[in-house]
Amino acid sequence: MSYDLLIKNGTVVDGTGAPRYLADIAIEGGRIAEIGRLGEDARKVIDASGLIVAPGFVDPHTHYDAQICWDPQLSCSSWHGVTSVVMGNCGVGLAPCRPEVHEIATLDLVNVEGIPARVLKAGITWDWESFPSYMEAAARRGCALNLAFLAPLTPFRHYVMGEESMERAATPAETERIAQLLGEAVAAGARGFSTTTGRQHVGYKGRPLACRLASREELAAYAQVLRKLGRGVIEITLTQDFGNIADHEYDLLDFLLEQSGRPVTWLAIFDRDDQPEASQRTLARTDPLIRRGGVPQVACRPFVSEFSMRRAIAFVTFPSWKRAYNQPVEELRRLFAEPQFRAALAEDIRRAGWDWEKVTVTEAANPELKGYENRSIAQLARERGRAGCEFDVMVELALEDNLEMWFSRPAFNINPQRVGRLINDPRTLIGLSDGGAHVNMLCDAGYCTYLLGTWVRERGAMTLEYAVRRITSEPADFFGIKDRGRLVAGAFADITIFDYDTVGSPQRGEMRADLPGGGKRLVVPAHGVIHTIVNGTPIYEDGAYTGATPGQVICW
């Protein structure tokens, strides 16, 4: 038999956790036809000698809801061997949406997910209104990767309630209509719905993201949609004090599990230097809920926040920052000159326990200030004779650069021993890439290659087989994505081929101006990913994009 594609002589790590083995993989009609020692009869042959052949990686937490309009590659995720992404997380998205309120949905993404307004204005195509038509538009447009959609609760509430969705709970009649629309979305292929309780999730005009106003009665109705359909999951940004879970958050997770009868994945558990036992304590406390399907997501990369004083996601939870939200540069300069505002922000930062030795200047726009790059605020304060006044020094530096200067602050997941324990724990789901979001502040879309290069090869913290399972079959199974995440005969041919000796990605990203409207973003390049195949079609060959868009919208 002549196959469409034959992968020869590779070391197969099949996504189940089973030991690796040498084999060939034959592909026909977009699926794996046969695995074994096969002949050469194929229209195309890839020699994988000395390389690892694994299932394509499945990223469970992305925000490519807008980027699918302008970037069929879905970079950076596709660079790192990801072949399927789950979008629509954290309760924010672009559908359903009536034409007259496009601005509101856009500004929700600007504020919650840190995507510049000019990028969204230039890039979003708006060739949809309902959620099913949003998925249909994605399918028509074409994508290199497979797209799995969660239905984000905010646009559904706004579609039914208008701006009052940001002010109050829904009436019984409104709740019934929202639930009906969610049911239609899930019936059309959405993998469930998402929501948030996060104080940092502030949307249009600095008001709470609409899903945060949903009452328990509403949430029960929406959860019961999944129970009645017998499918789907819930994703929720749950914890305010990362690493810890409060009593009311525990109760809400319990409630959603009970009402839906479906799995719930919640954000997030991070390791904290200031509370080194918090993550393990929280895992132990939530173990009864995890056993019922309430699975926390964890990250394998250090969480390093990049920010400027124009776009300070690092300040978004501070009460003092509310006056600065979405303000133009002129108003920000005035606020920073105001002693009351400056003192309040300094106090919020002091309470948050920032370590100024770890806050560094990453980029200066003014060439005369380039000498400050890669130096800590503490060091610069000492040089200026201002030790103890680090906040003021940071503000002064930013003002000297017309608020264009960028800073970085490592916030979570800094301790390798504790993070290694967390990502090895089978009770967790590895993800949190936030691909497509916070574009000029952080980029964790390379977490898969970072896991393989840093945690497996360099640190020996887990076996290759277990690491591959954690980023393939585990997320695929959780979201009910059938026939993906494993290399078995009959499965879709989503395959990543990488060099074990070189696979990886850097801890820090690099800035590129490649977004619509000339917007900038942080990107993280991939190392050692040689070939990536989606539904039997190569999308990367020898690390270069082929231009193919074989990805599918993943439906039930």
pLDDT for 204 beyond 90: no
pLDDT for 175 beyond 90: yes
The DSSP letter of residue 434 is -
Tell me if 64 is assigned to some domain: yes
pLDDT score recorded for residue 271 = 97
Name residue, tokens 């790590």.
13
Assess whether 378 and 429 both reside in one domain.
Answer: no
Tell me if 541 is assigned to some domain: no
pLDDT score recorded for residue 158 = 98
The percentage of residues in the chain with a pLDDT greater than 70, rounded to a whole number, is 100
pLDDT band at 211 (very low <50, low <70, confident <90, very high): very high
Assess whether 72 and 131 both reside in one domain.
Answer: yes
Say which CATH number the domain at 101 has: 3.20.20.140
Helix (H, G, I), strand (E, B) or coil at 29: coil
Assess whether 314 and 448 both reside in one domain.
Answer: no
Per-residue pLDDT tens digits for 458-495: 999 999 999 999 999 999 999 999 999 999 999 999 99
Per-residue pLDDT tens digits for 244-293: 999 999 999 999 999 999 999 999 999 999 899 999 999 999 999 999 99
**369-392: average pLDDT:** 96
| Number of domains making up the chain | 2
pLDDT for 310 beyond 90: no
**DSSP string computed for 396-421:** HHHHHTTT--EEEEEEE---HHHHHH
In a 13 Å sphere around the CA of 551, the CA atoms on its Cβ side amount to 31
Across all residues in the chain, what is the average pLDDT?
A: 95
Domain housing 332: 306-411
Assess whether 395 and 439 both reside in one domain.
Answer: no
**529-553: average pLDDT:** 98
pLDDT score recorded for residue 18 = 98
Tell me if 407 is assigned to some domain: yes
CA dihedral 88, 94, 98, 99 (to 10 degrees): -160
Assess whether 148 and 279 both reside in one domain.
Answer: yes
pLDDT band at 450 (very low <50, low <70, confident <90, very high): very high
Assess whether 123 and 93 both reside in one domain.
Answer: yes
pLDDT score recorded for residue 428 = 98
Q: Contact at 8 Å (CB) between 414 and 426?
A: no
User: What is d(CA 432, CA 369) in angstroms, rounded to the nearest whole number?
Assistant: 34
pLDDT score recorded for residue 307 = 87
Tell me if 192 is assigned to some domain: yes
Distances (CA, A) of 481 to 190, 266, 302: 11, 19, 28
Question: What residues pair up with 410 in beta bridges, in sequence order?
Answer: 304
Answer with the one of 392, 411, 430 that is the final residue of a domain.
Answer: 411
The percentage of residues in the chain with a pLDDT greater than 90, rounded to a whole number, is 87
pLDDT for 42 beyond 80: yes
Assess whether 347 and 230 both reside in one domain.
Answer: no
User: What is d(CA 27, CA 321) in angstroms, rounded to the nearest whole number?
Assistant: 55
pLDDT for 510 beyond 90: no
Tell me if 211 is assigned to some domain: yes
Answer with the one of 372, 395, 411 that is the final residue of a domain.
Answer: 411
Answer with the one of 462, 478, 494 that is the final residue of a domain.
Answer: 478
User: What is d(CA 492, CA 485) in angstroms, rounded to the nearest whole number?
Assistant: 9
pLDDT score recorded for residue 327 = 86
**373-402: average pLDDT:** 96
pLDDT score recorded for residue 507 = 83
Reference 169, options 229, 107, 213, 223; nearest CA is 213
User: What is d(CA 279, CA 428) in angstroms, rounded to the nearest whole number?
Assistant: 11
Assess whether 392 and 429 both reside in one domain.
Answer: no
Assess whether 343 and 461 both reside in one domain.
Answer: no
pLDDT score recorded for residue 374 = 93
pLDDT score recorded for residue 299 = 97
Strands (E), 326-469: 360-363, 406-412, 429-430
Question: What residues pair up with 308 in beta bridges, in sequence order?
Answer: 406
Question: What residues pair up with 233 in beta bridges, in sequence order?
Answer: 192
pLDDT for 20 beyond 80: yes
pLDDT for 314 beyond 90: no
User: What is d(CA 442, CA 233) in angstroms, rounded to the nearest whole number?
Assistant: 27
Assess whether 285 and 199 both reside in one domain.
Answer: yes
pLDDT band at 360 (very low <50, low <70, confident <90, very high): very high
Q: Contact at 8 Å (CB) between 484 and 55?
A: yes
pLDDT score recorded for residue 98 = 97
